Every structure is written in C-alpha cells, then in structure tokens.
Chains A and B, each alone.
Chain A
Amino acid sequence: MTQPLTYRGTPHKPNTPTLNMQGVCLTYVDSSSRLTETAVNVLDNITFRAEPGEQIAIIGPNGAGKSTLLKVAAGLIKPNSGSVKMFGYTPDSHICIAYVPQRSEIDWQFPVTVADVVLMGRTKQIGLFKRPSKRDREIVQKSLERVHMAHLAHKQIGELSGGQQQRVFIARALALETNLLLMDEPLAGLDIPSQEGTLDILDSLRPDGVTVLLATHDLGVAAERFDRVMLLNKQVMAFGPPASVLTAANLTAAYGGYMPANKNGIAPKIVIH
C-alpha cells in the first residue's frame, strides 16, 4: 500500500459511468507442475459499462470468473491488460466501493456485534487515531434502520439468520456511503422470503444511485429482479436486458449444454426469441 495515511478518497468525474471496463484481461500462470507453466485465462476481453443506479446480475457456470470480475471491479486485483475506470478514475483509489464477500469467507464467531460491523464501514471517514463521532453512530443507526435491522444492533453477528447477515453487510455498504455495491453469491443458502427481502432492500437503493453488481447462480432471480444480466464464462457471452440474454442458445453456449435449474428444482423462466 503506497497511499498516505491521510488519504480521503478520489473525486468522481461528472457524467461518467459508475464502472467502465474496456478489454479487461486477466491471466495467471499455473506453475503447479514444476515442468510446465501454462497461462490460464481467467477473464478474457471484458468490456461493459454500469450506470449509476443500475442493478446487474452476473451469471455463469462455476469457474466462469464471477468472483474475480467483482474483485477486479473493487480494485483488489489488477488486470493484466485493459482499463477499469470508476467515475473516470481507477477503482483502487476509490473508498466508496462495498464488496460483500461470500458467506464462507467471514468468521461468524468473531466477537463483534451488528453495530460494530456496520461501524467498520466508517473506518476511513472516522480517520486514523480518531474515535467514532456522534454523527458516525447516527449514520450506523440510520443504515440499520434502512435495512430493518436496528432492533438487532447489539446482537453478535453469528446469532443472526443468513438473510439478516446479508442485510447487515448492505447496511455497512450504506454506512460507507457506497456508490458501487459488489455482492458475491449473497443469495446462496437463503430461503425464498430472505432472498426476496434482500432483493427488496437492493431495490430501495435505486434512488440513491447505488450501482449493484451481484453474482448469482439463480437464473430466475436474475431474470425477474435485475435491469441487465451479464452471462459470463471467462468472456462476456451476452449482456443486456434479461429477456435478450437468457435465451436457450446463449445459456447452452455458456453452460456447455448443462442447463442449471434453480434451487427448487424448477427450470427458470426463459424467454426464447
């Protein structure tokens, strides 16, 4: 990390997309065998734009690069080539990106309360050497109210249900004043009412101009609840309104003949043109 400790974030160029990827390629060298080194393509020539307030579902088979794409968008991984711009600047200088990791990446036994987790989102605004101000606490409270979690503020995070835990992370994104919310499989393992609850809260963020990129395996949810869908398998196989992306031809191409059913075993609604 080379940024000075007093760094306060990058301005946003007006009238620029939240996220603009042009020809992003990411390869890693597989040296698991000492004899041969093979360059493996993880992301291949990814080009797309996400506008303020837009909600995009990223679908694709396992190993398609969904998580990696989110990490590139967050500025956590630098692509080998191509450009990533957030509001006109590289994402690794922005502090308004909220990345919600997969559930398995969080230690749910960690001794922190719901309010503690949301307050972590304010770390940069609070500043080094400083304690949270009254205003920071108010923002935490308001963020929790917006996701209907204020009454559980003092619960340890492990005591919550999966759906409630997702809402805590959305509240944390609100607390850090996010413009780009990146969620990796947030709906996995949730029951239908919890999924709906999470998606309803995401809908309520539209007036704030928060752009949402959400990786999911659930084609039905992608079709019904998102403005646009990206079908990813290392490259962008299709990108656009759900009806034009979720065609049998596109899905067969991306999933290689295997058509995923959603978690109820029901084949997703697919509009065939």
Chain B
Amino acid sequence: MDWLLEPLQFSFITRALYASIMVGILCPILGTYVILRGMAFFGDALSHTILPGVVIAFLLDWPLAVGALIVGVLTALGIGFLTEKSDLKEDTAIGIIFVGMFALGIALLSGSGNYTIDLAHFLFGNLLGVSTTDLWVILGLGTAVLFTIYLFYKEFLLISFDPILAATLRIPASFFRYLLLVLIAITIVTSLQVVGITLALAMFITPAATASLLTNRLPPMMAIAAGIGAFSGLSGLYISFYMNIASGAAIVLVATALFIVAFIFAPGRGRLWQFI
C-alpha cells in the first residue's frame, strides 16, 4: 500500500488529487448534456475562447478563474445569440468566435513576454500548481453548477429531448438553453487548471460517452460518467507521478482507455457482444 500513500506526503499532490477528483466528477455530469445535445464542437470551442480571458487576468494579476469565467460566459451567450439572430449556421458561428478569440489570447500572451512557459500551462493545465484558493474556487463553482442541474433537471431534460414539447408547454426554452451554456462555460473554467484548454473537452465527452454505452437512463448515466471521471482523475495522477508524464495527459489517457474497454466489452452493445 505504500505506493498509494507515498505521493500523498507532498501537499501539492494532495491538492492536485482533490482538484482532479472534483473536476472528474463535475465535467462528465455536464458532459452528458453536451453529448446528448451534440454540442461537442461547442464545448471544444468554448474551452479555447477562454484563453484571452485567462491572459488578461494574468496580465492584470487577477485570479485566472475570474478572467476565464467572464470571457467564458460572454462567449457562451455570444455564440447562442449569433446562431439565434443571424443566418449563420451554429458551427460556423462557433468556428469564427473560437479561432478569433484563441488568436487574441495568443497575441496578448506573446506580447507579454512569458510566451512559452505560460502558454504551456494554459494549454495543458498545471495540476501540480493548484493552490488552496483554487481548490475552494473549484468547490464553490462546482457545487453551484451541480445544484443548478439538480434544480432544473426536468427542464434541461425536456429541452434536450423534445424542444417542441417544451414550446407547447410554454417553458422558456431559450432561457434554459442559455443557462446550460453558461453552466458548461463555468465547468470548463474549473477544468482548465487540471487538464488545460486543449484537453478540457476530453473530460466532458469521454466519460459521458463511455457511460452512454453502459446505461440507457440519464441519472445512472450521469452517475457512471462522474465515477469514470473521478477514477480517471485519481489514477491519472498516480500514473503521472510514477511514470513522470504530464498529469493532464495521463488523466485523459485513462479516460480514453476506459472508453475503449467499454466500447469492446459493454454488455449488449459492445463490439465483442455483437460479435458473439
């Protein structure tokens, strides 16, 4: 058992562990909505558009999460608005905002002089640099997001499954759609430090997709996805510690491996099952 306890003598690793487990639970729960609503591209874009917010916060010496949060929420609302009010298709609107914002972030960062080191942190996360304040921010935002999901569970389910019924029941579908976008933006912000901008999407999509192979009801799907996410966070961190590889990448690789296992062996739906 020593190999389990040994890393925990370092307080920065304990903090990293808490962060990766919390993010591992939070992201996949939101991720179930992302995959069911076909919003994977939106999630990917949103994680990249947050870069200029992070850079501005960094330059102004604000907490990075604050900058990311403001820009993330504004982008989520902006994409929603652009698709609703213009002739552009949603993926086109997302594509324009996504690369524009990411370029702005890189421009700001390259002008600031700390280009290579800090960009790497934003892109791939800085799990071992998680501070106690960061942990409280993740816990606070995560609790708020999960409580909102709990509160409006049936409304989010309804607008995702049957928007026409939502309309005939006169449920304010636009409001709930925007709210969901904002919740996704907030969740991405929490995942930044753990896996970074480029891998944030993996924490949303992969565990939720794995869970979708194992159950066909939404509440167990959310629970299984959260379990897979937390396990990936935990074991990824240990793998990172012992094999000396980047922690964000290790976490995502564990989640990906679990997906492949489920894809092959899932009862009833896996490849192996269909082969038999």
Contacts and interface: CB of A to CB of B under 8 A. Distances in A.
Nearest to A92: B170
Contacts of B173: 1
Nearest to B166: A123
B172 interface: yes
Given A76-B164, A120-B162, A156-B217, A1 B172 contact: yes
Interface string B171-183: 1111100000000
Interface residues of A, number: 36
A95 B170 contact: yes
A111 B215 contact: yes
Contacts of A95: 168-170
A23 to B, nearest CB: 23
Contacts of B166: 123
Contacts of A126: 154
A224 interface: no
Contacts of A121: 165
B216 interface: yes
Contacts, number: 81
B161 A120 contact: yes
Interface residues of B, number: 28
A98 interface: yes
B151 A116 contact: no
B274 to A, nearest CB: 16
Nearest to A119: B154
B141 interface: no
Contact of A123 (B36, B169, B175, B217): B169
A228 B216 CA distance: 41
B169 A124 contact: yes
A75 B174 contact: no
A266 interface: no
Contacts of B158: 120, 123
B168 A75 contact: yes
Nearest to B32: A111
A93 B157 contact: no
A218 B174 CA distance: 37
Given A95-B169, A111-B218, A111-B221, 5 more contacts: A1-B171, A3-B170, A74-B168, A98-B168, A111-B215
20 contacts: A1-B172, A1-B174, A5-B172, A7-B170, A75-B168, A92-B170, A98-B168, A99-B164, A99-B165, A101-B164, A107-B36, A110-B161, A111-B216, A113-B216, A116-B217, A116-B218, A117-B161, A119-B154, A120-B165, A128-B152
Interface of A: 1, 3, 5, 7, 74-76, 92-93, 95, 97-99, 101, 105-107, 110-113, 116-117, 119-121, 123-124, 126, 128-129, 132, 156, 158, 172, 176
